[in-house]
């Protein structure tokens, strides 16, 4: 081996060590956000993203803690910040903010903060983070709105801090336009703090490794990740693969149609044929469509490769302008997760024809977030209103060699909110929260089970339910002769059925009863292992 090869090997090892260190830095960044956040959906459920970027706006590393919708859309949002605030105008101590759905992560309830990182008075990189805020005014976290301005406070690209001095006017404007002023302002500070800790740890790392910029390291990460994903794509048969899925929609059923093309070193997904945008707030900005489509592809194609700008490069995603998956301003988009989180299942249906041995059955997919608002007896600072989102999940689809997971968020990855937390921050009483036996489709491998949940107001007051549910009309489909999962249900117990979408009143004393969807089964149940069948019966996991 010649001297040049030895030098290259030494450099590669050092770059790999620094890459691993970056992954540690962004995970601490993300954990700082979770541990300092005010809102339960952040501190209990992890509905965030955090990452570090080079000066070209390329994501070098992302925290494992977080959701694909936030991470993969945030991966593009930093470029928008750089376009609005050129690097040569940024100062140490500056913080930039937006919740623009088309330049951020898809709806107004996600704040994106970007902070430039300086070493020796020179900008070396940027840290960005996102978290979900429970309330940002307007009609609330539901699909009722018919344009973006009905959905809450719309923050363009602005400076949250200038040379370390917070913009008190902007903070006051934000807190005044929400039903949760203390929690919302606190969450903004937690976002700022998490970027600060990222900057501090990055500078420490650069000093330790005696580097003055991130260019060579970023190129190494980008090139290695790109090459690794291209190598995995080459294992998939080239071809054109199609699939479609029907979901509930709002005013009418929605068709999600995809054509997936596998080439030598890239995969493209075209959603031509998908239904046009809705009048209501279930529409999806293209950035969020790309985020969850890329995540679905990554799960099957490159699951072991860290997520960054290089690993995302081989995936090309498009949807017709004006469709429900590429809704332009001023479309209402508040509940864009309902449709966006279905997209991995749509992609899986395409890839089933190419790599069937890797593809799971369909799952509940979109979160069944239960959002309430109304009067409260436990508000901070004399606040008489509450708004809370209980994160609730259905079952995932059966996997190629295992049963699906019960009451588990996939693809979002958000954890369920503990009952005790919901009851502490809002006047809610949970009467039941348990698995729904038999709700997963039977198969050689069974789909994951959904849940049965019963909730009522803890005080003598009506409250609003901001329903944003799907898979009530069209359940998760099984694969390879596996049975479909159970559809979801929403009702007032022993009284009346409720709509899956839209604001509805839960009267004092009424019990809200929710059945979340189950995942589809995979393969014939007759082929199921006898020990697993016996366990199903013993644990009463099958339908009556």
Domain assignment of residue 274, yes or no = no
Tell me the mean pLDDT in the region 115-124. Answer: 98
Residues 220 and 364 in one domain: no
Tell me the mean pLDDT in the region 505-522. Answer: 98
Query: 237-272 pLDDT, tens per residue?
Result: 999 999 999 999 999 999 999 999 999 999 999 999
Tell me the mean pLDDT in the region 346-368. Answer: 97
pLDDT over 60 at 18, yes or no: yes
Q: Of 64-78, 225-239, 282-296, 351-365, where does mean pLDDT reach its minimum? A: 64-78
Q: Of 130-144, 245-259, 371-385, where does mean pLDDT reach its minimum? A: 371-385
Query: 89-114 pLDDT, tens per residue?
Result: 999 999 999 999 999 999 999 999 99
CB-based burial, 420-452: b 16+ in 10 Å, e otherwise: ebbbebbbbebeebebbbbbbbbbbbbbbbbbb
In this prediction the pTM is 0.95
pLDDT of residue 5: 52
pLDDT of residue 540: 83
Tell me the mean pLDDT in the region 484-508. Answer: 97
The DSSP symbol for 479 reads B
Q: Tell me how far apart the terminal alpha carbons of the chain are, to the nearest angstrom.
A: 69
The DSSP symbol for 401 reads T
Which of 198, 225, 252 is the endpoint of a domain?
225
Query: 413-459 pLDDT, tens per residue?
Result: 999 999 999 999 999 999 999 999 999 999 999 999 999 999 999 99
pLDDT of residue 74: 87
Could you tell me whether strands 315-318 and 267-270 are parallel, antiparallel, or unpaired per DSSP bridges?
A: parallel
Tell me the mean pLDDT in the region 7-23. Answer: 86
Residues 218 and 364 in one domain: no
pLDDT of residue 382: 64
Domain assignment of residue 300, yes or no = no
Q: Of 8-17, 320-329, 362-371, 502-511, where does mean pLDDT reach its minimum? A: 8-17
Domain assignment of residue 247, yes or no = no
Domain assignment of residue 334, yes or no = no
pLDDT of residue 383: 73
Tell me the mean pLDDT in the region 462-476. Answer: 98
Domain assignment of residue 111, yes or no = yes
Which of 225, 248, 268 is the endpoint of a domain?
225
- Region for 386 from its dihedrals, namely left if φ exceeds 0, alpha if ψ lies in -120 to 50, beta otherwise: beta
Write out the residue range of the structural domain in which residue 369 sits: 360-544
Tell me the mean pLDDT in the region 281-294. Answer: 97
Could you tell me whether strands 489-492 and 496-497 are parallel, antiparallel, or unpaired per DSSP bridges?
A: antiparallel
* Domains of the chain: total: 2
C-alpha separations of 500 from 251, 280, 310 in Å: 11, 13, 39
pLDDT of residue 421: 94
Alpha-carbon distance of 382 to 533, in angstroms, equals 55
Domain assignment of residue 432, yes or no = yes
C-alpha separations of 387 from 87, 180, 216, 505 in Å: 38, 7, 47, 14
pLDDT of residue 6: 43
Which of 182, 198, 225 is the endpoint of a domain?
225
Domain assignment of residue 266, yes or no = no
Domain assignment of residue 261, yes or no = no
Residues 6+ apart with CB under 8 A from 433: 419, 451, 452, 453, 454
pLDDT over 90 at 376, yes or no: yes
């Amino acid at each position: 081996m010649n001297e040049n090869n030895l030098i290259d090997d030494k450099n590669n090892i050092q770059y790999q060590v620094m890459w691993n260190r970056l992954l540690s830095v962004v995970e601490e960044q993300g954990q700082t956000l979770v541990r300092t956040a005010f809102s339960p959906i952040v501190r209990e459920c992890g509905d965030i993203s955090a990452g570090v970027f080079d000066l070209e706006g390329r994501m070098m590393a992302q925290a494992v803690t977080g959701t694909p919708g936030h991470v993969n859309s945030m991966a593009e949002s930093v470029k928008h910040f750089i376009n609005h605030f050129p690097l040569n105008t940024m100062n140490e101590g500056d913080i930039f903010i937006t919740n623009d759905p088309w330049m951020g992560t898809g709806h107004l309830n996600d704040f994106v903060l970007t902070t430039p990182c300086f070493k020796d008075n020179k900008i070396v990189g940027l840290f960005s983070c996102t978290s979900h805020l429970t309330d940002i005014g307007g009609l609330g976290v539901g699909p009722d709105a018919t344009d973006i301005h009905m959905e809450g406070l719309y923050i363009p690209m602005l400076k949250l801090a200038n040379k370390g001095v917070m913009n008190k006017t902007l903070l006051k404007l934000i807190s005044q336009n929400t039903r949760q002023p203390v929690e919302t302002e606190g969450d903004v500070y937690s976002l700022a703090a998490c970027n600060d800790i990222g900057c501090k740890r990055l500078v420490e790392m650069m000093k330790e490794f005696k580097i003055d910029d991130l260019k060579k390291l970023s190129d190494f990460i980008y090139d290695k990740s790109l090459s690794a994903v291209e190598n995995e794509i080459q294992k998939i048969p080239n071809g054109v693969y199609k699939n479609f899925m029907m979901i509930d929609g709002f005013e009418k059923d929605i068709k999600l149609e995809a054509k997936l093309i596998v080439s030598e070193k890239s995969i493209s997904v075209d959603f031509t044929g998908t239904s046009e945008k809705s009048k209501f707030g279930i529409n999806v900005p293209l950035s969020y469509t790309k985020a969850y489509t890329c995540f679905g592809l990554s799960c099957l194609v490159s699951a072991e490769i860290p997520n960054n700008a290089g690993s995302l490069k081989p995936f090309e995603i498009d949807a017709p302008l004006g469709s429900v998956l590429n809704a332009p301003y001023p479309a209402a988009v508040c509940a864009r997760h309902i449709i966006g989180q279905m997209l991995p299942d749509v992609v899986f249906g395409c890839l089933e024809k190419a790599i069937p041995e890797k593809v799971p059955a369909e799952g509940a997919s979109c979160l069944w977030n239960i959002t309430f608002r109304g009067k409260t007896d436990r508000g901070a600072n004399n606040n008489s209103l509450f708004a809370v989102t209980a994160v609730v999940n259905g079952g995932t689809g059966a996997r190629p060699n295992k049963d699906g997971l019960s009451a588990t968020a996939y693809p979002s990855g958000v954890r369920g909110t503990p009952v005790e937390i919901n009851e502490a921050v809002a006047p809610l009483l949970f009467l039941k929260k348990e698995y729904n036996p038999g709700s997963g489709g039977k198969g050689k491998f069974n789909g994951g089970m959904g849940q049965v949940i019963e909730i009522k107001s803890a005080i003598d007051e009506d409250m609003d339910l901001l329903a944003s549910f799907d898979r009530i009309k069209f359940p998760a489909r099984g694969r390879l002769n596996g049975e479909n999962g159970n559809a979801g249900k929403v009702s007032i117990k022993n009284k009346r059925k409720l709509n899956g979408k839209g604001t509805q009143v839960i009267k004092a004393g009424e019990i809200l009863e929710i059945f979340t969807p189950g995942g589809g089964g995979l393969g014939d149940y007759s082929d199921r292992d006898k020990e697993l069948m016996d366990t199903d019966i013993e644990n009463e996991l099958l339908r009556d």
